[in-house]
Structure 1
Amino acid sequence: MPRSKRDKKVSLTKTDRKGLAWKQRFVDDIRFCVGKYPNIFVFQVQNMRNSILKDLRQEWKNNSRIIFGKNRVMQIGLGRTKSEEMEAGLHKLAKRLNGQVGLLFTEKSKEEVLEWAENYWAVEYARSGFIATETVTLPAGPLEDFAHSMEPHLRSLGMPTKLEKGIVTIYSDYTVCEEGKVLTPEQARILKLVGKPMAKFRMTIQCSWTKSDGFQLHVEDGINDETQVDSAVEEDAEEMDEDDDNEDEAE
């Protein structure tokens, strides 16, 4: 019997990964933005969602650039010390690149960006581990928005459901979550299915650097600007994986 063409083994050693060349392009891209845009901001993200970040990039694409990537690689692009930085004071921005943060390069004024960040937020669905902001209870009765094929899945999530004449029905009142308690993966999934968003996507401007005013801190962080940023750069390819939520290659 002839061997199927689909029966092939693919060595994972042939898989392409982001390496030193990619990091160098990323660093060069940041340095290009430093020369192009007069104002730079370090922002922190709450309840990160890639879809919202893509929308923001589209909204700001005409006169700005949002970069969200590997913190230590971004530090190299800005300059980790006074001797490495392209412009005076940029190493102070590099010191604030810790945690889930990104860079905003823009032609918009500092006042305009700060006002926008203060008022911007977007409603999103909570994930597991999120603290419920309210108690959500589903009353007994039909769930006509769900197809009958969804009933087994809803039951597997813990909901007291059954089919009545082909309609998904809750046969007793069901409390999905309680205010102040941590959401489980099943609870987070149910809240999304029933259309109950609890989380808010927000961007907080931690600090800024402008060609006219230099560095300015907007959120106190207790960082000593006299100490140097750790110059070690991680080369672990696994941490540079494309599926990492805190990584987004430069566009």
Structure 2
Amino acid sequence: MPKSKRSKLVSLTKVAKKTKEQKGAMIKELQDNAEKWKYCWLFQVGSMRNAHLKTVRKLWKDTARIFFGRSAVMAKALGTTPEEEHRLGLHQLAKQIQGQIGVLFTDTEPGEVIEWFADFQQPDFARTGNLASRTVTLPAGPVMRTHSDPPEPFPHNEEPQLRKLGLSTYMNKGVPSLHNPHELCKKGKPLTTEQAQLLKLIGEKMVVFRVSLICRWTAATGEVVQIENQPQLDSAATGGDDPEDEEMDEE
């Protein structure tokens, strides 16, 4: 008798782990770059999106090397104590690598780096748990998709989804509509899953991907300088992108 497919066991524990060889290669890569470049920066990201981080990498491809991997591996590569540091002063940098921190090696002068990252911003849709940056109220009448130019109403076949997400809609000449204004979200309040999905459907971008510089190490002197007056990052949210692992520095 053939074995029933229903009784088949599927393992959920087979997750590929980084080998010692891969971690060793990552450590060597970081140390080689510490020997090559004039400056090493630490940065953190607000509203993490891998696509936007790849854009940063692409724009800096010819003038920098970016690592965004496991903090423990990167800190070990640079050395967290004066005795272990790979180059003079790097331990002051390494001890600040905790959580989602990236490393940027470059020869570009500090003023230019600070100015570039201050200007780089990418609006994006909020995720569950983000704080609403503004109050959004949908007016009575047709429910509109604001990302269209000009804005256009939702098609009739999306009305069930709008109702499922909390809108008390009705059909008016084949268009999902509201009898009364509906406060979709309130400024400063955490977004629910339904609110975040509705904001995305109507085209309201509430968060901004941006990079905040933490500190800079200078190879010539071993000095580490903390970077002040950096932009405040959007609060963390559940369901956001996990930063890509050590492979972020490929190419």
Q: TM-score range by the shorter chain?
A: 0.7 to 0.9
Change (3 A) 1:149 1:219: same
Task: Give 1:163 shift.
Answer: 2.9
C-alpha distance in structure 1 between counterparts of 2:127 and 2:13, whole Å = 34
Are the equivalent residues in 1 in contact too, given 2:49–2:241 (CA < 8 A)?
A: no
**What residue in structure 2 maps to residue 249 of structure 1?**
246
For 2:76, give the aligned amino acid.
I
Q: Is the 8 A contact 1:132 1:182 kept in 2?
A: yes
1:238 corresponds in structure 2 to none
Q: Deviations over 1:56-101 (max 9, x none)?
A: 1111111111111111111011112222222101111101112321
- Structure-2 change in CA distance of 1:51 and 1:168 (3 Å): same
> Residues 27 and 147 (structure 1 numbering): CA distance in 2 closer, same or farther, change over 3 Å?
farther
CA distance in 1: counterparts of 2:14 and 2:186, whole angstroms: 48
* Partner residue, 1:136: 136
Deviation at 1:155, TM superposition (A): 0.9
Tell me how far apart the structure 1 counterparts of residues 28 and 38 of structure 2 sit (CA, whole Å). Answer: 17
Distance in 1 between the 2:227 and 2:48 partners?
Answer: 19
Aligned to 2:177: 169
- Inter-partner Cα distance in structure 2 for 1:15 and 1:185: 28
Counterpart in the other structure of 2:202: 194
Q: CA RMSD in A?
A: 2.6
What is the CA–CA distance in structure 2 between the aligned matches of 1:118 and 1:66, rounded to whole Å?
A: 17
Residues of 1 paired with 2:223 and 2:2: CA distance? 69
Size of the aligned set, in residue pairs, is 229
- Equivalent position of 2:146 in the other structure: none
1:26 alignment partner in structure 2: 26
Provide the TM-score with structure 1 as the length reference: 0.80
Unaligned runs of 5+ in 2: 144-151, 229-239
- Give TM-score, length-normalised by structure 2: 0.80
How has the CA–CA distance of structure 1 residues 201 and 193 changed in structure 2, closer, same or farther, with 3 Å as cutoff? same
What letter matches 2:180 in structure 1?
S
Partner of 1:126: 126
Is contact 2:67–2:104 with CA below 8 Å preserved after alignment? yes
Question: What is the distance in 1 between the residues matched to 2:13 and 2:37?
Answer: 40
| Structure-1 separation of matches of 2:192 and 2:18 | 34
Cα shift at 1:9: 5.7
Structure 1 outlier segments of 4+, above 4 Å: 1-5, 7-15
Q: Who is 2:191 aligned against? A: 183
Residue pair 1:136, 1:178 contacting (<8 A) in 2 also? yes
After superposition, the Cα gap between the structure-2 partners of 1:122 and 1:244, relative to the gap in structure 1 and judged at 3 Å, is closer
Q: For 1:221-245, what per-residue CA distance to the aligned partner results, in whole angstroms no more than 9, with x for missing partners? A: xxxxxxxxxxxxxxxxxxxxxx971
The residue that corresponds to 2:101 in the other structure is: 101
Find the partner of 2:164 among 156, 164, 184. 156
Task: Please say if residues 70 and 246 of structure 1, whose CA atoms lie closer than 8 Å, have aligned partners that are also in contact.
Answer: no
The unaligned stretches of length 5 or more in structure 1 are 221-242
C-alpha displacement of 1:12: 4.8
1:140-174 Cα deviation digits (max 9, x unpaired): 22234423222111111101223333322223211
Output one character per residue of 1:199-249: Cα deviation in whole Å (capped at 9) or x when no partner.
Answer: 1222121111122242222247xxxxxxxxxxxxxxxxxxxxxx9714422
2:194 maps to amino acid: E
